[in-house]
């Protein structure tokens, strides 16, 4: 070899090695994840939030995880209703990022979704100016590479304090509980950075987490009224949240309070849905936090209650079921739309004929469509089922599995749909989850930037409403919503199962 070329080669290799060492050396040491801290902001404040790698011991092994400001969950950000704050976001990961503030009716430019913003590259940053119109519990999470980034720890709460001091009944303490799960195989987290696998059913985890922890513990005193802000941040798993031996007083949902508080034994939460529940214990002891599905009861952790004399005592208030007149008044102008003919109809289904053709030739696929392999009798797939469906899920990728939202009027699906809605003109949308598709399962349907009411399920008019941004549509179910298109811009609507979104189960709509 020519000596000169040899020299060039050595220099180039050296430079490449130096670049490799330089780029792969983290700017700071990867630290263990911290627990979430409360951050209190007021109108006009700016808060710096970064996403980056941390370590955490899970399933008996140190794992590389992701965190906002080093915390899992990210900081719980408290803001007064009506406040505008700036979240100075920095992407300290090696992946594209977007910060979506779920359920917040912010200006369109700060939605942190693909309709309004390009991905933030590694090292990039973006200032999100958010206005919190509604009281309630909201949350922030990635809106790109979500299949991978979110379950590793990128989720945090916004708690918007109501202007009206009597909006909720009184409580002694408030706790955010993020419910999620992680798939772990032989001690390793089984998620890929591109998130293109298992798009049929999604990644159900085998390790259940509350606030990113296995067997989470919360301490309480007898007579203390605890407010639990429960948020499902899983990719796909629905939770039926319960506290064994305790009645749950359900006071709020996605976007603020219900019209009236109710007693519940458990509360179903699909990915991204929220529930605000109050709970009080009169006897000391250990109370299990559970996910109660028809076939299994999973222990998620416990509330350890010791004897105490909590002052002030809100026990009397706790035992009453309050009505919220301001919520009822906010809904009243929409009631005349509840039983009108739907303006729009959507059908939810899946097409994986490509995968069937590729992998299933010998199996006589002609009858597969009628087999209804998927959701259990109640229309919800609580777990990834055993056997063939699990095998098919393992084989399914974004290339052949196409989850679809179809507009019945035009026959258009997903990104071919482009609705234009008039600002201030309520729209009734019927959503039908086709049980005859090759893999029927539940879909939590989320509209960005707006709020809606779930007015009927299978033709049954709903009572005791709450403003929502996500609705769980069970397999075979028809759900009617009345959307309040109050917030101008081009927005996304999609299934909130991360893998279904990844496979294209989304459309855009414009409010003007
Ligand atoms: Cu879906």
Q: Which residue has the tokens 């991978």?
A: 148
Quote the ligand 1 centre to 137 CA distance (angstroms). 23
Q: Are 178 and 138 in contact (CB under 8 A)?
A: no
- Distance from C-alpha of 40 to C-alpha of 47, rounded to nearest angstrom: 10
479 pLDDT exceeds 90?
yes
In this structure, what are the phi and psi dihedrals at residue 112, rounded to the nearest 5 degrees?
65, 35
Quote the ligand 1 centre to 269 CA distance (angstroms). 14
Task: State both tokens at 69.
Answer: 């400001």
| Burial (0-12, 13-18, 19+ Cβ within 10 Å), 276 | buried
- Distance from C-alpha of 498 to C-alpha of 434, rounded to nearest angstrom: 20
Tell me what the pLDDT averaged over the chain comes to.
91
- Distance from C-alpha of 203 to C-alpha of 72, rounded to nearest angstrom: 20
Mean pLDDT confidence for 467-478: 98
Structural domains for the chain = 38-161 (2.60.40.420), 173-330 (2.60.40.420), 335-511 (2.60.40.420)
User: What pLDDT is recorded for position 269?
Assistant: 98
439 pLDDT exceeds 90?
no
139 pLDDT exceeds 90?
yes
DSSP letter for each residue of 439-454: S---EEEEESS-EEEE
Is 27 or 265 the better-scoring residue by pLDDT?
265
The answer for residues whose C-beta is within 8 angstroms of residue 94's C-beta and 6 or more apart is 122
What does the pLDDT look like over 35-79, one tens digit per residue? Answer: 999 999 999 999 999 999 999 999 999 999 999 999 999 999 999
Task: State both tokens at 29.
Answer: 């040491």
Q: Which residues of 344-355 are buried (b: 16+ CB within 10 A; e: fewer)?
A: bbbbbbbebbeb
CA dihedral sign, ordered 135, 137, 142, 145:
negative
What does the pLDDT look like over 70-106, one tens digit per residue? Answer: 999 999 999 999 999 999 999 999 999 999 999 999 9
For residue 352, name the pLDDT band (cuts at 50, 70, 90).
Answer: confident
20 pLDDT exceeds 90?
no
Quote the ligand 1 centre to 152 CA distance (angstroms). 20
Quote the ligand 1 centre to 504 CA distance (angstroms). 10
- Distance from C-alpha of 445 to C-alpha of 432, rounded to nearest angstrom: 11
Quote the ligand 1 centre to 193 CA distance (angstroms). 20
Quote the ligand 1 centre to 212 CA distance (angstroms). 23
H or E segment and range at residue 149: helix 146-149
Cα within 13 Å of Cα(405), Cβ side: 31
What does the pLDDT look like over 403-422, one tens digit per residue? Answer: 999 999 999 999 999 999 99
| Burial (0-12, 13-18, 19+ Cβ within 10 Å), 161 | middle
Query: pTM of the entire structure?
Result: 0.91
Quote the ligand 1 centre to 496 CA distance (angstroms). 6
Q: Are 382 and 331 in contact (CB under 8 A)?
A: no
In sequence order, what E strands does 197-284 have? 207-210, 216-221, 225-232, 239-243, 248-253, 256-264, 267-269, 274-280
Quote the ligand 1 centre to 462 CA distance (angstroms). 23
For residue 355, name the pLDDT band (cuts at 50, 70, 90).
Answer: low
Quote the ligand 1 centre to 265 CA distance (angstroms). 27
Altogether, the residues listed in the chain come to a count of 512
For residue 354, name the pLDDT band (cuts at 50, 70, 90).
Answer: low
Quote the ligand 1 centre to 292 CA distance (angstroms). 21
What does the pLDDT look like over 278-327, one tens digit per residue? Answer: 999 999 999 999 999 999 999 999 999 999 989 999 999 999 999 999 99
Quote the ligand 1 centre to 432 CA distance (angstroms). 12
Compute the radius of gyration of the chain from its Cα atoms. 24
User: What pLDDT is recorded for position 394?
Assistant: 76
246 pLDDT exceeds 90?
yes
Quote the ligand 1 centre to 28 CA distance (angstroms). 38
Residue 203: closest CA among 166, 149, 162, 245: 149
User: What pLDDT is recorded for position 229?
Assistant: 98
Please give all residues whose CB falls under 5 A of ion ligand 1, grouped by chain where several chains appear.
Answer: 443, 495, 497, 500
475 pLDDT exceeds 70?
yes
Quote the ligand 1 centre to 500 CA distance (angstroms). 5
Mean pLDDT confidence for 340-346: 98
């Amino acid at each position: 070899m020519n000596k000169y070329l040899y020299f060039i080669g050595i220099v180039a290799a050296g430079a490449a090695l130096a670049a490799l060492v330089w780029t792969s050396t983290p700017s700071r040491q990867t630290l263990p994840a911290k627990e979430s801290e409360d951050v209190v902001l007021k109108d006009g404040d700016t808060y710096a939030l970064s996403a980056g790698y941390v370590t955490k011991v899970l399933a008996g092994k140190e794992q590389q995880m992701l965190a906002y400001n080093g915390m899992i969950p990210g900081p719980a950000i408290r803001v007064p209703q009506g406040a505008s704050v700036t979240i100075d976001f920095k992407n300290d990961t090696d992946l594209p990022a977007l910060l979506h503030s779920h359920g917040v009716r912010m200006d369109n430019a700060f939605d942190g979704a693909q309709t309004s913003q390009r991905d933030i590259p590694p090292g990039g940053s973006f200032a999100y100016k958010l206005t919190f119109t509604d009281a309630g519990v909201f949350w922030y999470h990635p809106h790109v590479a979500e299949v991978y980034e979110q379950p590793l720890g990128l989720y945090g709460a916004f708690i918007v304090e109501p202007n009206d001091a009597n909006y909720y009944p009184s409580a002694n303490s408030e706790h955010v509980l993020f419910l999620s799960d992680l798939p772990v195989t032989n001690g390793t987290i089984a998620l890929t950075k591109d998130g293109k696998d298992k798009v049929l059913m999604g990644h159900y985890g085998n390790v259940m987490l509350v606030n990113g922890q296995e067997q989470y513990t919360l301490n309480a005193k007898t007579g203390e009224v605890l407010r639990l802000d429960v948020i499902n941040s899983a990719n796909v798993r629905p939770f039926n949240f319960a506290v064994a031996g305790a009645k749950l007083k359900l006071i709020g949902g996605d976007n603020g309070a219900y019209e009236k508080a109710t007693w519940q034994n458990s509360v179903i939460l699909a990915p991204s849905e929220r529930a605000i529940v109050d709970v009080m214990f009169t006897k000391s002891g250990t109370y299990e936090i559970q996910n109660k599905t028809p076939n299994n009861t999973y222990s998620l952790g416990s509330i350890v209650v010791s004897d105490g004399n909590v002052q002030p005592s809100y026990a009397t208030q706790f035992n009453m079921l309050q009505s919220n007149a301001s919520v009822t008044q906010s809904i009243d102008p929409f009631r005349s739309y509840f039983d009108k003919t739907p303006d729009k109809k959507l059908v939810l289904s899946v097409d994986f004929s490509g995968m069937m053709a590729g992998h299933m030739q010998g199996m006589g696929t002609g009858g597969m469509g009628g087999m209804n392999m998927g959701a259990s009798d109640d229309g919800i797939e609580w777990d990834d089922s055993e056997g063939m469906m699990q095998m098919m899920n393992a084989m399914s990728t974004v290339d052949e599995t196409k989850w679809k939202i179809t507009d019945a009027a035009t026959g258009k699906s997903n990104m071919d749909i482009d609705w234009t809605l008039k600002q201030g003109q309520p729209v009734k949308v019927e959503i039908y989850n086709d049980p005859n598709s090759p893999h029927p399962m539940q879909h939590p349907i989320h509209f960005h930037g707006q709020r809606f009411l779930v007015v009927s399920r299978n033709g049954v008019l709903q009572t005791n409403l709450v403003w929502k941004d996500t609705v769980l549509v069970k397999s075979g179910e028809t759900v009617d919503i009345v959307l309040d298109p109050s917030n101008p811009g081009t927005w996304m609507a999609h299934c909130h199962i991360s893998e279904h979104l990844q496979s294209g189960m989304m459309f855009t709509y414009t409010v003007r």
